[in-house]
Amino acid sequence: MLAFLLALLAAVPCAAQGRDPVLVPDISEHEIVLRQGFTGADLLLFGALLEASGGRATGEYDIVVVLKGPAEPIRIREKERWFGIWVNADSTGYRSVPSFYAIASSRPIVDIVDERTAAIYELGLPWLQLSPTGSIDPEEQARFSAGLVDLRQRQGLYAQFEGGVEVTEGVLYRARFPIPSNVIPGRYVAETFAIIDGRVVTSATSEIKVSKEGVSGRIASEAQDASFFYGLFAIGLSLFMGWAASRISTLF
């Protein structure tokens, strides 16, 4: 029995070496506070890739880091020009669209995985799943989706950094993401993938909390928690401001 236990203990490290590696991620800031005058932030995601036994990982791994903001429904409209005037034309809705999406990779995504794997894990803007509502022609859906992604890119809310992950000695990695000032509060999830030979072998997630403080934070909280009374207050305030403006104009 003693010989059997000794043989079993000796075999554990060998068995661990055959297992997939382990990602140990971390973030420079686990909470971002949106205060008055917030102009953006620079978020550093870093970590290590280790063997299951705790030693250094072996092999040429690629690292891909994806940062997503809270999902939200959205409707996008297409503009057309009629007799020199831009008017709303076709539109389509989406059930679940990431409010923020950024991806960084150690190499271009097309050199790391095939299109099927990229679509499964949403690795890159071309493979982002946007979930349109209702039935829509595939070509029209592709046009609207491309327009939505382009709009979010120009707003700084979507970004792709190929070669944005720096890997040191095949163990340590780090990637920087600029966080624009127009992000919305909520739960942000950073997911890190270790990939070798086009196959995702392991992944790990971290969370970032984005919250509002001050007057704007209280207003946002009241608008969400008591939307009915907030709407009545907003209508009443607008009526009062209109009445006050008219009274002031009659005095002068």
For residue 144, give the CATH number of its domain.
2.60.40.1930
Please list the rounded mean pLDDT of every run of 10 residues in the chain (252 residues).
38 49 91 88 93 61 95 84 72 89 96 95 92 77 88 95 91 94 94 94 94 61 55 71 69 61
Two tokens, residue 71: 């999902």
* pLDDT at 57 (0 to 100): 56
Its pTM surpasses 0.85: no
User: Are residues 101 and 206 part of one domain?
Assistant: yes
pLDDT of residue 210: 94
If we measure between CA atoms, which residue out of 136, 49, 125 comes closest to residue 93? 136
Position 91 in a domain: yes
pLDDT in the model for residue 174: 95
Query: 7 lies in a domain?
Result: no
Print burial letters for 157-193: b (CB count within 10 Å at least 16), e (below 16).
Answer: bbbbebebbebeeebebbbbbebeeebebeebebbbb
- Is there a contact between 208 and 27 (Cβ–Cβ < 8 Å)? yes
Task: Kindly state whether residue 60 falls inside one of the protein's structural domains.
Answer: yes
Does some domain include residue 125? yes
How far, in Å, CA of 187 to CA of 211, rounded? Answer: 9
Residues 145 and 24 occupy one common structural domain: yes
Q: How many folded domains does the chain comprise?
A: 2
Domain that holds residue 243: 217-251
**CB atoms near residue 63 (< 10 Å):** 24
Judgement on whether residues 126 and 33 belong to the same structural domain of the protein: yes
Give the closest residue to 197 by CA, choosing from 123, 108, 112: 112
Does 1 fall in a domain?
no
- Predicted pLDDT at 170: 82
Given this model, what pLDDT does residue 92 score?
Answer: 84
Angle between helix axes 227-251 and 214-225 (nearest 10 degrees) is 120
Is 10 within a domain? no
Quick one: 207 and 222 in the same domain?
Answer: no
Tell me: do 69 and 190 sit in the same domain: yes
Question: Do residue 97 and residue 182 come from a single domain?
Answer: yes
